[in-house]
Structure 1
Amino acid sequence: MKTITSSQNTYIKQLVQLKDKSRERKKLGQFLIEGVREISLAIKGGYDLETVLFYPELFSEEKRNDFINQEINIIEISKEVYQKLAYRDTTEGILAVAKTKPNSLDNLKLERKNPLILVAEAPEKPGNIGAILRTADAAHVDAVIIANPKTDLYNPNIIRSSVGCVFTNQIAVGSTSEIINFLNQNSISIYCAALQASVNYHTQDFTTSTAIVVGTEATGLSEEWLENSAQNIIIPMQGEIDSMNVSVAAGILIFEAKRQRNFK
């Protein structure tokens, strides 16, 4: 087993770039995962781990052997190296390097006859994306699709805020046009959360093949979505503001669809 004690090690410098730079993640097709729960969910989600790094004072070798049963590269690291790589102040002392997935529309497998899909257009804040993925996991939707993404899915902030649900959901990314074509080709009705020409969300039938589409709080959905919407829907609001956090809105809409489907 290899040991690395210096944060100036070439490989460690590469991992820091992997943690901090989207272009490095895209170029290498790799990303960094931190924490037992997140790594466990990545393994369960079918992600290939290339390397596991552990700091023995926080994560013992015995614990590591119980946790990792794959034949992969194992590296013991020092406190200095761990602090350089760790994104959170309090984690369990284990990190992993994993291979990214393509996350293309072509790879989506819609096994149910009436899939329920959550689409988010151009979400910018990793925290919102993470919260949307947590909602999608809780509702066990068939897929989450990100239109015109502003950041890559393997941003450490998304992994952290999603508490690993980036690994538990079936996710695809694409342009708005590509996604609309995909939904139309698969006979999936589009319901857009929008103020214009909208009806109360609970008046619609979400038991058939359904895509619920949400946009950003600042600009809402693009015109292309509105032009292709089967029906725009709105959450009635009784306060002074006319919008709410996108992840909260997505949760309300998705769980209404699940209620109509008897949570199946």
Structure 2
Amino acid sequence: MKAITSIQNSFVKQLFQLKEKSRERRKTGLFLIEGAREIMLALQGGYDIDTILFNPELHPLERVEALNAEGVDLIEISKEVYQKLAYRETTEGILAVAKSKSHQLDALKFNTKSPLILIAEAPEKPGNIGAILRTADAANVDAVIIANPKTDLHNPNIIRSSVGCVFTNTIATGSTSEIIKFLKSEGIHIYCAALQASEPYHTQDFTKPTAIVVGTEATGLSAEWRENATQNIIIPMQGAIDSMNVSVAAGILIFEAKRQRGFN
């Protein structure tokens, strides 16, 4: 088995660039996954793992082999190399190099006649994106669509904050215009969380093909979404402010749709 002990190793330098630079991830089509659970979820999600790197002091070989990652190159690395490449402050001692998947909108297919889709427009904070993906996984939605993405989905902080749910969800990306056109062509009703011309969310019928759309906390949804909505919806507030964290709002709306559908 190959071993790497120096942070000056050329391969280690390449991996460090994958960790730090979205441009490098886009150029190579590769990204880093940190953590055994996240690697396992990526494998279950059909991601192609190229290499697994592990520090035997932190992650023994038998635990690496338990992942059943057949045909994957294993490289033993020193603690110094691991700490150079790791993103988390807590140490698990295992990393993987994976190949990116396409998230093209036109590749999106549904296995039901009444899909439930969660859409987020221009989310900027990786932590919010991760939380939205966790909500989507918990509700087992049919797809998550990111409109006008501001960061790539393989940002290490998205992988971390989603606890690997970036691998468990069906995800697509596109511009707002492209997504609206796609939804209309599929006969999917659009419900936009917005303050303007809105009805209380719980008064709507989410049992039909449904897309629930949320925007940023700072600016909300763009006019294009609001003007193309089947209905703008609002979560009635009883406090001093008129908005809440986008992932919390998404959770409330999505689970109301699940309640109406009998949690199917």
Interval containing the TM-score (normalised by the shorter chain) = over 0.9
Shift of 1:69: 3.4
SS at match of 2:225: helix
Q: Which amino acid aligns with 1:33?
A: I
Shift of 1:68: 3.3
SS at match of 2:118: strand
SS at match of 2:66: helix
Q: Which amino acid aligns with 1:29?
A: G
Question: What corresponds to 1:41 in structure 2?
Answer: 41
Question: What corresponds to 2:126 in structure 1?
Answer: 126
CA distance in 2, matches of 1:195, 1:63: 50
Shift of 1:252: 0.2
Q: What is the TM-score when the length of structure 1 is the normalising length?
A: 0.99
Question: What corresponds to 1:96 in structure 2?
Answer: 96
1:252 and 2:252 aligned = yes
Q: Which amino acid aligns with 1:91?
A: T
What is the aligned-residue identity percentage?
75
SS at match of 1:263: coil
Q: Which amino acid aligns with 1:259?
A: R
Counterpart mapping for 1:139-150 below 5 A: 139-150=139-150
Question: What corresponds to 1:58 in structure 2?
Answer: 58
SS at match of 2:8: coil
SS at match of 1:192: strand
CA distance in 2, matches of 1:69, 1:149: 31
Shift of 1:224: 0.6
CA distance in 2, matches of 1:195, 1:67: 47
Shift of 1:227: 1.1
* CA offset digits 1:43-77 (Å, max 9, x no partner): 00000000000001011122222223311111100
CA distance in 1, matches of 2:8, 2:223: 50
Question: What corresponds to 1:223 in structure 2?
Answer: 223
Counterpart mapping for 1:169-180 below 5 A: 169-180=169-180
CA distance in 2, matches of 1:64, 1:245: 37
More displaced stretch, 100-109 vs 9-18: 100-109
Do 2:43 and 2:69's aligned partners in 1 also have CA atoms closer than 8 Å?
Answer: no
Shift of 1:87: 0.7
Q: Which amino acid aligns with 1:2?
A: K
SS at match of 1:172: strand
The total of aligned residue pairs comes to 264
SS at match of 1:67: coil
CA distance in 2, matches of 1:69, 1:153: 23
Question: What corresponds to 2:5 in structure 1?
Answer: 5
Q: Which amino acid aligns with 2:263?
A: F
CA distance in 2, matches of 1:189, 1:150: 25
Moved over 4 A (4+): none
Do 2:105 and 2:174's aligned partners in 1 also have CA atoms closer than 8 Å?
Answer: yes
Q: Which amino acid aligns with 2:194?
A: A
Shift of 1:108: 1.2
Q: Which amino acid aligns with 1:147?
A: A
Q: What is the TM-score when the length of structure 2 is the normalising length?
A: 0.99
CA distance in 2, matches of 1:154, 1:69: 20
CA distance in 1, matches of 2:114, 2:181: 17
